[in-house]
Amino acid sequence: METSGKAVSFGGSGKTTVQMQTLATYLDAGWDFVFETFNGTADSWTIVSGQYPHLAFQTDTIPPDTAIVPNVVSMTQANAESAITTAKLTVWTTPVYSDTVAAGTVVNQNPAADTVLLTQMEVNIEISVGPRIDPGSGTEADPYKIVTISDWQTFMATSADWDKYFILMDDLDFRHITLTPVGNSDMPFTGSFDGNGRIIRNAAINTPASSYVGLFGFIDTSGRISNLGLESAL
């Protein structure tokens, strides 16, 4: 934007120079980089902090900034996040149920320890929320409780329950998660979903040839969505 003087154009939304020299900008757009597999394994691109990306075959002239993933399994969430950011990587957390690992402790990580990544790339850590004690029964007095991404995936896949009551118990981040709409023209959502003041982030469904596309694709007149925040939804 500093060069063109424009924030938007027919070609798309503008980026600052700093954004154009930041790895996350391109990962979010689907570019396939060396040392990552979220966007494929062709390893077409690489980048050095403070510079623009370049094709991977040019790495003999501009070596990429790299970092080694630390082992954070069994650490507390706070200590794990500190270790990852100290290694010049970024953190992406996913809540999971565990019958054996105490709440607030790292159950698993991806990529594994000692993996070499480009700096700024994400390490996903699964954080225990303890055992699933009360999933709810789907009634107004006792709604189904959605705590983890796994709960949402069950919600998406179980259309027989789309006339029930649900409540979101924690913020959810759907980066790198394949989503399908809840509700469609054959089976609309007729239940009640209480967002409980929580936030869903990075929800994206890329099906341009389909109709009724959205986090909730088709809501009947009796369906109700309330108290739900969305950030970076596409």
| Nearest by Cα to 207 from 187, 173, 184 | 184
Q: Determine the average pLDDT of the residues in 6-13.
A: 84
Q: Determine the average pLDDT of the residues in 89-117.
A: 93
**Environment class of 206 (CB within 10 Å of its CB; exposed 0-12, middle 13-18, buried 19+):** exposed
pLDDT of the residue at 61: 52
The DSSP string of 115-156 is -EEETT-EEEEEEE---------SSSSSPEEE-SHHHHHHHH
pLDDT of the residue at 13: 84
Is the pLDDT at 180 greater than 60? The verdict is yes
Q: Determine the average pLDDT of the residues in 49-56.
A: 83
- Separation of alpha carbons 172 and 27, rounded Å: 20
For residue 222, how many other CB atoms are within 10 A of its CB? 11
168 half-sphere exposure, CB direction, 13 A CA radius: 22
- Which domains are seen in the chain, by residue range? 8-58 (no CATH), 66-128 (3.30.10.20), 144-231 (no CATH)
- Separation of alpha carbons 75 and 147, rounded Å: 21
Q: Kindly report the pTM of this predicted structure.
A: 0.72
Q: Determine the average pLDDT of the residues in 186-208.
A: 94
Predicted confidence band of residue 143 (pLDDT cuts 50, 70, 90): very high
Is the pLDDT at 24 greater than 90? The verdict is no
Burial 158-183 (b: 16+ CB within 10 A, else e): eeebbbbbbbbbeebbbbeeebebbb
